[in-house]
Amino acid sequence: MGEETLDAPAGPDRKRSRRTIIIVSAVVIAIVAGGIGTWFALSRPAGIQRADVVRLDKERVILDNSMNLYDPLYNQFSARYSSVMSEDAEKQEKDAVLNQDGDRLKRESRTNLDRLERMGSSPAMQEKEISDAFNRFKENYGAVISYNDQLVVNTANITQSIGGPCAPLHSTLNVGAESYSEDYVKAADACLASIGTAKATTDAETTELLTSVEGIIRGQRDKQQEVLDGKDEFERLTKRTLAGLAMLDINQALSAAEEKYESAAKDKYNQLVTKANDSNKTFESALKKRTDQFDAAAKGGE
């Protein structure tokens, strides 16, 4: 009757004993897990393995292929953003296109930069030839990625300025209107302010383009201001005629600035891509050379 059954409540000693068992078990598990980790680290053969080189080469191929995604993504962004700007859509709609398509390109860049960092931590980097080839590969591919990121900024700024406030200057303003000179000066001031803002974040080539356009617009704006400042109707008519003649050359000047920009941007991009392709071939060759050495050693040991 007075004996303790299995169903009887456990006393303080039994609770303490049970806690002790749990603690001891946890310690044992931790020790075993640590032992397994140590064994795994120690059991890995010294130096790099063929699998390390093969894995690194697969990452190289994935990165190289993913770079081809930039062109269609950028073309989609450029077309959509130019379209929404020309349609004079609401700011919210313009921002939506910029954020959605622009962020998609940024995500692609982050993915590729992360992959480059991952590749740099490969055990295969222990070998100098592979490490040197990878560093050149990383530098040149990183330069292309940076160029693509800046291209989004450049395109957005050109579209927001030249395709934004500057667009009405030579499209919707009524040349025959009595208020044309006044309307032109007002629109030109908005255009010049927009270009000034755009130049703050563009690269050298794009800044040169915007500066050229800025000079062309400012010159025409000043001529229209002279019309407004004319002392009498005859002087205003004379100034208006001179401004009109100058306007005939403006499209040619703008086209020349655009062609110069496109040529410089194309040359810059082609140089970056050529360097990237060359470093990719060198990196691929270094990896193949090492796998061939592994294969030759394996055959020799048979």
The rounded average pLDDT for each run of 10 residues, N- to C-terminus, in the chain (302 residues) is 39 49 46 43 64 98 94 93 82 88 93 97 97 98 96 94 88 83 95 96 95 96 93 88 84 92 95 97 98 89 57
Q: What pLDDT score was predicted for residue 87?
A: 73
Contact in structure between 217 and 187 (CB atoms under 8 Å): no
Cα–Cα distance between 272 and 266 in angstroms, integer?
Answer: 10
Q: What pLDDT score was predicted for residue 85?
A: 85
Give me the residue label for tokens 């990165």.
Answer: 63
Where in the chain are the domains? Answer: 74-118+129-291
**Long-range CB pairs of 65-70, under 8 A, 24+ apart, other chains included:** 66/108, 66/111, 66/112, 66/115, 67/112, 67/141, 67/144, 67/145, 67/276, 69/108, 70/105, 70/108, 70/148
Q: What pLDDT score was predicted for residue 11?
A: 52
Cα–Cα distance between 98 and 89 in angstroms, integer?
Answer: 13
Alpha-helical regions (H) of 44-161: 50-66, 70-86, 91-120, 128-161
Among 253, 233, 227, 234, which residue's Cα sits nearest to residue 175? Answer: 227
pTM, two decimal places: 0.78
Residues contacting residue 244 through CB under 8 Å, at least 6 positions apart: 175
Structure tokens at 262: 């496109």
Cα–Cα distance between 204 and 153 in angstroms, integer?
Answer: 13
Determine the longest span between alpha carbons in the chain, in angstroms. 129
- Using only C-alpha atoms, the chain has a radius of gyration, in whole angstroms, of 34
Q: What pLDDT score was predicted for residue 302?
A: 57
Structure tokens at 190: 């908005």
Q: What pLDDT score was predicted for residue 58?
A: 98
Give me the residue label for tokens 């390390």.
Answer: 52
Structure tokens at 134: 């990878």
**Long-range CB pairs of 1-7, under 8 A, 24+ apart, other chains included:** none
Q: What pLDDT score was predicted for residue 45?
A: 52
HEC profile of 238-282: HHHHHHHHHHCCHHHHHHHHHHHHHHHHHHHHHHHHHHHHHHHHH
Determine the residue type at 194: S
Q: If you count DSSP H runs as helices and E runs as strands, how many of each does the chain have, helices first?
A: 9, 0
The Cβ-side half-sphere exposure at 58, using a 13 Å CA radius, reads: 7
Altogether, the residues listed in the chain come to a count of 302
Q: Cβ–Cβ contacts within 10 Å for residue 242, how many?
A: 13
